[in-house]
């Protein structure tokens, strides 16, 4: 429902805006909006309103003194609007929807080679059919005051700290800047810089183990060495802190903090303790699920980035192709192959290695790389569960990001959703057989 959106009766402000847009397209005379018309309010219905909007038909007749029709003077045939053909894979969409049942959050799957969105689910959702008939004020207030905010597409419009799914980005920054190497080791005793805790005692860890087992203490130190400005620079290179440009309305850009940002926002200096928590995806940093899916795709694609999109083609009422969307390549991540190779290896070990936090997505015959995350949400105590992944390693076809609000550990609250999507994509299960996900495995 969030992809398609909903329609509603236009108000004066929307009438003026839409007619102005039509005038700019030199189409106002034929397709003018007026009171009583309906138009898209969210989703693709809003984004592509002018393409979906047809032309009203009409009849001019001559009547006698009694109002009886004498003859038809003029008849105008109504012209249907265009049709959108989407990139969404029906089976993957069903799988994601079923796996997310009972959760609050979002799941996004994209093709890392093109940017095509294969699935996008936001929970809770809504029935768009309720908007076809005019809602009374009471029913509308029930929807807009619902604390779970079902109208909001969490995949693009909700911002969250990414938690440990941000660690691969910190790792790429460290490796690319020679701040750390694959051999850089330290001992995790469960407590790191500024007395900040790790989720477990890891002992001696190197870069691979730190990614695979999600060691906070390791990344506290790596973050300290990097400094916030280099972390932020790499995050922006992955596309964080800016809208992805997906063809849906109301996308949020998120936040990538650095020294300048904090001074402008709070008139305060940046503190080293804030750097170490940012290095593990906490603190001021905020991302959307579509951004994290795009970041996962960039990791899959050795830094090559594409703008995500949902509409593949626009077809007119006669079946003729009006337009098609070509993949749009974006500026690549500013890092070399060696850095990506090491981080990708760590993400693979998260899935197959001993103590790896992403073992839920270990699928026989399919090389999956992934990263779990738990993002603290102080007002509600229980952390958000995150998971990002891509597969297959050698020639990635799918990249996924999942968030489950207050879902706890990423391995239990989010990774099983990704597993369900992967199982259907690679033919291991049918979409109709996917059930709401509950897995009892402990890990970040």
DSSP code of 381? S
Give every CB contact of residue 16 below 8 A, 6+ residues apart in sequence.
none
Q: How far apart are CA 405 and CA 408, in angstroms?
A: 8
177: nearest Cα among 254, 262, 234, 117: 234
Q: How far apart are CA 413 and CA 272, in angstroms?
A: 31
Catalytic residue among 42, 122, 164, 411: 164
What is each CA distance from 281 to 125, 167, 198, 304, in whole angstroms? 27, 7, 13, 22
Token couple for 205: 């860890």
Q: How far apart are CA 401 and CA 359, in angstroms?
A: 16
Respond yes or no: is residue 164 known to be catalytic: yes
Q: How far apart are CA 362 and CA 348, in angstroms?
A: 9
Torsion of CA 193, 196, 198, 203, to 10 degrees: 30
422: nearest Cα among 373, 360, 376, 379: 360
Name 279's bridge partners.
Answer: none
Q: Which residues are known to be catalytic? A: 164
């Amino acid at each position: 429902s969030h992809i398609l959106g909903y329609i509603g009766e236009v108000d004066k402000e929307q009438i003026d805006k839409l007619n102005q847009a039509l005038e700019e397209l030199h189409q106002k005379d034929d397709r003018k909006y007026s009171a009583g018309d309906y138009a898209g309010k969210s989703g693709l219905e809003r984004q592509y309103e002018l393409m979906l909007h047809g032309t009203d038909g009409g009849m001019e007749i001559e009547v006698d003194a009694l109002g009886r029709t004498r003859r038809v003077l003029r008849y105008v045939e109504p012209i249907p609007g265009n049709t959108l053909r989407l990139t969404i894979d029906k089976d993957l969409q069903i799988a994601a929807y079923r796996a997310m049942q009972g959760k609050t959050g979002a799941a996004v799957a994209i093709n890392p080679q093109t940017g095509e969105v294969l699935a996008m689910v936001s929970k809770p959702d809504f029935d768009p059919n309720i908007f076809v008939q005019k809602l009374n004020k009471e029913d509308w207030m029930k929807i807009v005051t619902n604390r779970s905010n079902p109208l909001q597409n969490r995949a693009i419009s909700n911002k969250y700290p990414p938690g440990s799914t941000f660690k691969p980005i910190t790792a790429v920054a460290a490796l690319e800047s020679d701040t750390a190497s694959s051999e850089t080791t330290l001992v995790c005793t469960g407590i790191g810089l500024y007395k900040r805790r790790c989720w477990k005692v890891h002992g001696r860890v190197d870069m691979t183990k730190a990614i695979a087992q999600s060691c906070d203490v390791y990344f506290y130190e790596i973050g300290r060495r990097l400094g916030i400005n280099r972390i932020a620079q790499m995050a922006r290179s992955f596309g964080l802190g800016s809208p992805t440009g997906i063809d849906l309305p109301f996308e949020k850009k998120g936040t990538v903090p650095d020294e300048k940002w904090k001074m402008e926002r709070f008139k305060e200096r940046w503190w080293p303790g804030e750097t170490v928590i940012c290095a593990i995806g906490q603190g001021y940093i905020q991302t959307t699920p579509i951004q994290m899916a795009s970041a996962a795709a960039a990791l899959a694609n050795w830094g090559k980035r594409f703008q995500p999109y949902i509409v593949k083609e626009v077809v007119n009422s006669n079946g003729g192709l009006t337009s098609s969307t070509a993949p749009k390549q974006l500026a690549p991540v500013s890092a070399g192959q060696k850095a990506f190779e090491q981080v990708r290896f760590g993400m693979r070990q998260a899935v197959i290695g001993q103590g790896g936090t992403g073992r839920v997505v270990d699928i026989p015959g399919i090389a999956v790389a992934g990263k779990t995350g738990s993002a603290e949400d102080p007002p509600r105590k229980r952390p958000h569960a995150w998971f990002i992944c891509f597969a297959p390693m050698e020639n990635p076809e799918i990249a996924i990001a999942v968030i489950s609000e207050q879902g706890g550990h990423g391995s239990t609250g989010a990774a099983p959703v990704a597993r369900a999507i992967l199982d259907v994509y690679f033919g291991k299960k049918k979409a109709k057989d996917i059930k709401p996900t509950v897995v009892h495995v402990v890990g970040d």
